[in-house]
Structure formats: structure tokens, C-alpha cells
Amino acid sequence: MNDQNNSDDFDSPWKDILEAWFQEFMIFFFPHAAEDIDWDTGYEFLDKELQQVVRDADLGRRYADKLVKLWLKNGQAAYVLVHVEIQGQTDIGFAERMFVYNYRFYDRFRKPVVSLAVLADESPDWRPDRFDYGLWGSETGIRFPVVKLLDYLKRLDMLEASENPFALATLAHLETQKTRQNPDMRFESKLRFVKSLYIRGWDRKKIILLFHFIDWVMRLPGHLEDRLWDTIHKIEEEGKMSYISSVERIGYKRGLSEGIAQGVTQGVAQGVKQAIELGLSLKFGDDTAGSLMPHIQNMQDPDWLMMIKDAIRSTDSIDEIRELIMAKPGRA
């Protein structure tokens, strides 16, 4: 089973669900902190500021990280920068990286910075939660809360019963680790998770986004993947609904990289277009996606399409996306 657990590409589904449900993420993994946050005021992802620090520090590989500006209920701080890391493998330099990011964010914003970590690796004893050094009475360091996904193996009933999307994401992650050498068992687990999406009463966008996560994490051999999609089509036909099948096996980064490796330019372009349409719909709404897709459908350059898709992830400005689309020579 060729899982992508050590690949930078694996961060995409984690980042997607973090962006979609940050409040649910905090409530699920860090409930005490979530109680202090003024959710009515809203929050803001500082992706450009985060990337500047990550680029300057260059301290290793992550599943996902987010920098979020938010406000507290007590009014004592104007806002707090919450730095979230989801770490997928043991890393001797992880705690140091958390320290470096924390002080760089503080140096830039001069505001309180909270660092939080979710550890998604398979080593039960690896639990880095601090970094410090000192000499001659001078001490410097950081301690940060850590959540270990492996610990949820003792709380599977809670995960199954929870309506929080991160409960399902955690289940899928743990099941992926468990079934690494057993594709048939993984197929059964993945099918069970997909079926659960339909019975929870969630809306279409939530189902598609969580399916994207499950589909990416729980990779299957080709014959089992085909069998899964046949089953999905039957489920949706019987239920007279078109959720997952409406995106028709969107490749996302996994499918795109495989398509490029095979030199299937046309197929890659179509896969990116589908990903762009879903991204526009999820982030900016169906009407916006509908207005821009006619221009995108006439594009065939995979590199330019990838640029548009990546821009959708990195900016909250639809004007920037529109300018990029309209700048392409030979557009419709």
C-alpha cells in the first residue's frame, strides 16, 4: 500500500478541513481553549504571514500548519495568534521548530502567541511538548499543549458517535494506519466511512470535503477503488442524490501527480478543472464558481490550471483569482 504519509502533498486534506471547520477543530482537540474564544467576533487565517515565517525558518516538513488571528471573550488581549501544527512523523527537531515559529510570530506581531500541536505519527512514546535552553541563570523556552491521535484508539466509541467532522477525520487516519498491509480491510473501512457521510444529514459541501479527506488518506489499489466507486454510485442512485458522484473521482494532488507522471495532459487538465470548480464552490460559493468555470473550461495548460488551483487555496480574495483566470492568453 503506497500511502502518502511522508509526503508534503499529504497536507492538503488536513489544511482543507482546518480551514473549513477551525472552530470544530478547536472544540474537538482543545476544548478548554475553545471556551475562551469569542467565536461570534470571527477569526482570520494569516496564510501569507505564516508562509513568510515558514520560508525563512525552513525547519522541516509538516502535515499542516495554520496561523489564525482570533479574539478572546475576556477582552484582556486584542487578539491571539494560534499556531497549529499537525505533525505526521517523529521529528527530533519538532519542539525546536515550534519554539522558533512562536518567537518569530511574536517578534512580527508583538501579540500573545499560542502554539498547539496535533501529533499524527505512529510512535506512542513520542510526545514533544517543550523546548528550552539556559546558561548562568538565563532560561528561554516554550511549553505547548499536544494532542496525540493514537490516544483516540481508547475512545473509538466516542469518535463513532460524535458529529464533529474531526472525529471522522481521526477515525479515518487511525484506520489508515491499522490497514496499511490489508487493502481488503481498508476497503471495508473506507466504504463504512463513506456510507456514514450520507446518514448524518450533512449538507453536500460538507460531505464532499470529508469524502476528499477520506479518499486521500485511505488509498486503495485500483480494482478496489473501482469497486468503491461502483458502490457509491449505487448508494446515490438508490437515495436519489448526487453528492460524491457529482465530482466524479476528482484526482486532487494525488491524481494530478500520477497523471503528470504518465504524461496524460488532457486528463490532468480535466482533473484540475474539477478540483478548481469544487474549490471555488467551497470557498466562494456556487454562483461564483458558475460564473468563472466557463473561462476555465477552455484552458488546457495544466501548469496554469495548477497555478489557479493553488491560488484558490492561498488567498481569500476572489478578485485575485479572477485576475489570474483572465490573465491567461487564449482564454474564452
Decide if 170 is inside a domain: no
Which one is predicted more confidently, 258 or 242?
242
pLDDT digits (tens, 9 = 90+) for 265-293: 455 566 678 778 877 877 787 788 888 88
Are residues 210 and 317 both part of a single domain?
no
Q: Is the pTM of this model over 0.75?
A: no
Q: Answer yes or no: is 304 within a domain.
A: yes
| Same-domain pairing of 254 and 310 | yes
Specify whether 117 is located in the same domain as 140.
yes
Residue where a domain terminates, one of 108, 136, 151: 151
Examine residue 256 and state whether it is found in any structural domain, yes or no: yes
How do residues 36-79 score in pLDDT, each as one tens digit? 999 998 888 888 888 777 766 555 545 567 889 998 988 766 56
Model confidence pLDDT, tens digit, residues 89-104: 788 888 998 898 899 8
Does 61 lie in the same domain as 13?
yes
pLDDT-based confidence at residue 314 (cuts at 50, 70, 90): low
Classify residue 118: in a domain, yes or no: yes
Residues 231 and 265 in one domain: no
Residues 309 and 211 in one domain: no
Q: Which of 194, 228, 247 is the last residue of a domain?
A: 247
Tens digits of residue pLDDT in 119-175: 888 889 999 999 999 999 999 999 999 999 999 999 999 999 999 999 999 999 999
Residue pLDDT, tens place only, 172-224: 999 999 998 899 999 999 999 988 888 887 887 788 888 888 988 888 888 88
Q: Are residues 213 and 292 in the same domain?
A: no
Contact 205, 281 (CB under 8 A): yes
Domain that includes residue 263, residue range: 250-332
Taking the C-alpha atoms of residue 95 and residue 116, their distance in angstroms, rounded to an integer, is 11
User: 107 in a domain, yes or no?
Assistant: yes
Residue 190, Cβ neighbours under 10 Å: how many? 24
Boundary (domain end) residue, out of 136, 151, 166: 151
Same-domain pairing of 272 and 229:
no
User: In terms of domains, do 228 and 142 share one?
Assistant: no
Clarify whether residues 201 and 104 are in a common domain: no
- Is residue 27 located within the same domain as residue 142? yes
Number of domains in the chain: 3
Looking at residue 55, its pLDDT comes to 67
Residue at 86 is within a domain: yes
**Does residue 322 fall inside a structural domain?**
yes
State whether 188 and 242 are in the same domain.
yes
Q: Is residue 286 part of a domain?
A: yes
